[in-house]
Amino acid sequence: MDFEVWPEAIELGRMFEQEGHELALVGGPVRDLLLHRASHDLDFCTSARPEEFEPILRRFGHDGFWDMGRKFGTLGAMRRRADGTEVKVEVTTYRSDKYDPDSRKPAVSYGDSLEGDLSRRDFTVNAMALRVPDLRFVDPFGGANDIAKGILRTPVDPRQSFEDDPLRMMRAVRFVAQLGFRIEPDTAVAITEMTDRIEIVSAERVRDELVKLLLSERPHEGVEALVDSGLADIVLPEIPALQLEIDEHHRHKDVFEHTLRVLDRAIALETGPDGPVPAPDLTLRLAALLHDIGKPATRRFEPRGKVSFHHHDAVGAKMVRKRMKALHFDHSMIDDVSALVNMHLRFHGYVEEPWTDAAVRRYVKDSGPLYERLNRLTRADATTRNRRKALIFEQAMDELESRVKKLKEQEDLNAIRPDLNGNDIIEILGVEPGPMVGRAYRHMLDFRLDHGPTSRAEAQAELERWAREQG
């Protein structure tokens, strides 16, 4: 089989061979070679114990060495090429793990063969190896054939594989999104039958797989696989809940299918690396996936067969915050995604009646650094098949963005502050710091948003008028 292999892999193989040790490139890098995909980090396994190959790795890794995985038999190193690119390698002693059924963490025991090590891997497409430096291809479980067929299959019985490590079920749906493969039927049945096992996996591990799924090339297919497998019922139940039954008159669309369309459209609106929302953008993709999760809780059947979802934006924002906290996302990501969900209907009033400059300033001020993402989420959410309505919506959004651009040329909308600060208010009103100053400051901010920049004299006159009104 013809391979174009990293020269560093061959060099490292020679270094191990000189010391009498076996070394093989394994897992993702071998799979990606067959798929002609880029692979930046190189994983190896070896017959040597960590204490035996540590000196080799330290010599190889001119620019870095780490041993955080020593207790699992793993050491890592890094070197920089002449062009500045980094090559990171991790080497692990052949393993033969034994699992506790109440935990996905194996009791590590070293193995004695490459084939035995490959048998403990998650899927056949990741259970291939390339011995270095002689480049002998090792594929005991037919991984190359499965790549050609585009299927995901476990090297051993899938029930045993998922019993040993339930996170492999999440990895399966993630690989659907990343590789465009389908899950082999027996493997898919095993996942469906064993979804409860995912509950022993930490929230952080589940979150990491969801993130990788969403940042992949095909998150639409990954989300469908997550729902079809039944895993979503446990790890992200708000999404399968969107599969609302269509009413008998078919007057409202399936919210789940709508959500997948919004996700696709939002991704298409991401920009290049120099644009305002560089692809792939996790914040935008999470907001697109979760923007309508408040609909099931707010659904009401109205007269004449109509269906409403009043306040699903606000309700959904609270649900987003709760679910993302449960999945241990960081606070800033939770704040941003919940804010986008809360504001995703804000623009719709503009379509019916264009806003004043004051309303435009408020929109920009309230969205803050999320302005570009909010506009893209709003555009993505407009999935109507009525061409006339779609055109009106697009024109209104274009007009808003044009108005914002012009206003930004006149003033810094992202840094709007009242024309009088807290000290000014205290001096003019002759009051002590306290709640009154806060109320006055908020009023002057509203005045600034409504009227744009004003002179100090105009601002002082407005403050004094407000103060008299307050008594």
Encode pLDDT of 422-449 as tens digits: 788 888 888 888 888 888 888 777 777 7
Q: Which long-range contacts (CB under 8 A, 24 or more apart) does 139-144 make?
A: 140/115, 143/31, 144/34
Comparison of pLDDT for 213 and 450, the residue scoring more: 213
Amino acid at 256: F
Question: What are the pLDDT digits (tens) for 374-430?
Answer: 999 999 999 888 889 889 899 999 999 999 888 877 666 556 677 777 788 888 888
Residues 6+ apart with CB under 8 A from 316: 290, 291, 292, 293, 294, 295, 341, 342
Which of these, 363, 146, 433, 386, lies nearest to 253 by C-alpha position?
Answer: 386
**Under 8 Å between Cβ of 218 and 258:** no
Contact of 65 with 57, CB cutoff 8 Å: yes
In sequence order, what are the residues at sequence separation of 6 or more whose Cβ sits closer than 8 angstroms to the Cβ of residue 32?
Answer: 38, 39
Structural domains of the chain in order of their starting residue, each with its CATH number: 1-149 (3.30.460.10), 277-415 (no CATH), 422-470 (no CATH)
pTM above 0.85, yes or no: no
| Between 467 and 24, the higher pLDDT residue | 24
Other beta carbons within 10 Å of 272 = 8
H-only helix segments in 129-249? 143-149, 158-164, 167-179, 185-193, 203-214, 219-229, 232-235
CB 16 within 8 A of CB 22: yes
Quick check: 343 pLDDT over 70?
Answer: yes
